[in-house]
Amino acid sequence: MEEKPLLHVNGKLNRECFDLISMILSNCMNSEKEVILVTAGAIASGIEKLTMSKSPQSLTEKQAIAAIGQVELIRRYQNVFDEYNQLIGQVLLDRNSIVNPKRRNNAQNTFNRLLELHVIPVINENDTTSTEDIEHEDNYPLAASVCEIALAHVMVVLCDDLSFNILLSNSNVVLNASDKDKLFEFLAGLNAKDIVPGVFTDSDTFDTLPVKCL
């Protein structure tokens, strides 16, 4: 979940987008599909909470504002998911959580247990201790790492135009669903048994993959 779709052109958080995400993911969970949400938006939430007129420039300021915004971001997600009686759990990760085998295993166990409890893990970078996503303004690397840790079969990326880019594990083609109905139709017909889980391309390669419309 990139930051741009979450925002209006004036930089304010887009309630409609949060509603769309919660509806889709709650529907998936009710259809016995396990889902994990990787999100951005902590800095934007902090800017809105503090009613700042411009974005922070220094890394330290961005980290501090992200700490404020993360509270607001998860509250906003909880509010929209409450409308579907869907519980969520916040998980903040940094690079050590991904590269350290013990911490990676702990993260995997947490994901699995939350999903067993029918709770959607909502994951973001821990911006106070990790700066990869802040510096690159891209949380695809985090999303790909989470998909690998969770042994996911498919990654769905919400695009700026509110269409959906779909990447199957171990695939080199991005599929695009123009709206939620086409996304639901695709996921309903997906057979996970035919997919090797947990193999996702790096961020540089992802941007160069061919896109096929559904």
Tell me the pLDDT band of 103, cut-offs 50, 70 and 90. Answer: very high
Inform me whether the pLDDT recorded for 16 exceeds 60: yes
What's the mean pLDDT when you consider all of the chain?
88
Tell me the pLDDT band of 2, cut-offs 50, 70 and 90. Answer: low
Inform me whether the pLDDT recorded for 207 exceeds 60: yes
Domains identified in the chain and CATH numbers: 4-152 (3.40.1160.10)
Query: In the predicted model, what is the mean pLDDT of residues 53-75?
Result: 90
Q: Give me the sign of the Cα torsion angle 165, 8, 67, 63.
A: positive
Tell me the pLDDT band of 69, cut-offs 50, 70 and 90. Answer: very high
Looking at residue 137, what is its pLDDT? 58
In terms of Cα–Cα distance, which of 147, 141, 139, 180 is closest to 28? 180
Tell me the pLDDT band of 41, cut-offs 50, 70 and 90. Answer: confident
Looking at residue 105, what is its pLDDT? 94
Looking at residue 30, what is its pLDDT? 95
